[in-house]
Every structure is written in C-alpha cells, then in structure tokens.
C-alpha cells in the first residue's frame, strides 16, 4: 500500500469546535457531592455531556476508587448537567 501526502487539505469545521469544560474538582468530591455544568444551547449540552462522560471515564480508570454519575437536569433556568460522586458499589 502506498500512502500519498496531500497538501493544503482544509481541516473539517467540527474539529475547530472543541468543547471547553474547564477544570473540575473531581478529586475533592466526596460520595454524595455533586457539581453542575451549564450549557447555553441544546447542542452545546449534548457535546458537553459526551465530553464529560469521556473525561470521567478516563479519570475513573486512573483512580478506580472514584465513580460518577451524570444526568441532565431541567428547571426554570434551562437544562444543565449534574455530576454526582457515587460509591464504588453504586
């Protein structure tokens, strides 16, 4: 198989639109604690949900005694994501 180098191929737009979540206090959380991540649009919420799940998965693999749950919450202020630290058995 021959691999050809191509020049000046533009990067797809979706790769420019990375989701910024910022630092999360995961190590400081105790079982039963929760944090909220806000989103401005439904699309942003879905993208943040996917990014958060991946971040929590990576964190839990490095620190197996930590386990988290993520859920969407809807109230009069809109929809947001809440992350709970749960017990390892939960």
pLDDT in tens, 34-85: 999 998 888 888 999 999 999 999 999 999 999 999 999 887 777 899 999 9
Q: Could you state, in order of their start, the residue ranges of all structural domains in the chain?
A: 29-86
pTM: 0.75
Whether the pLDDT of residue 90 is over 50: the answer is: no
**pLDDT on residue 89:** 63
Place of tokens 């079982």: 31
**pLDDT on residue 52:** 94
Place of tokens 């919450």: 73
Bridge partners, 13 (sequence order): none
**pLDDT on residue 53:** 94
Q: Please provide the DSSP assignment of 17-56 as one string.
A: ---------TTTPPTT-EEEEE-SSHHHHHHHHHHHHHHH
b/e per residue 47-72 (b: at least 16 CB within 10 A):
bbbeebeebbeeeeeeeeebbbebee
**pLDDT on residue 20:** 82
């Amino acid at each position: 198989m021959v691999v050809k180098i191509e020049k000046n191929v533009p990067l797809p737009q979706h790769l420019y639109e990375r989701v910024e979540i910022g630092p999360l206090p995961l190590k400081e959380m105790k079982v039963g604690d929760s944090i909220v991540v806000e989103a401005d649009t439904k699309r942003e919420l879905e993208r943040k949900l996917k990014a958060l799940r991946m971040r929590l998965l990576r964190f839990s693999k490095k620190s197996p005694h930590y386990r988290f749950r993520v859920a969407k919450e809807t109230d009069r202020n809109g929809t947001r994501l809440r992350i709970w630290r749960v017990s390892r058995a939960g």
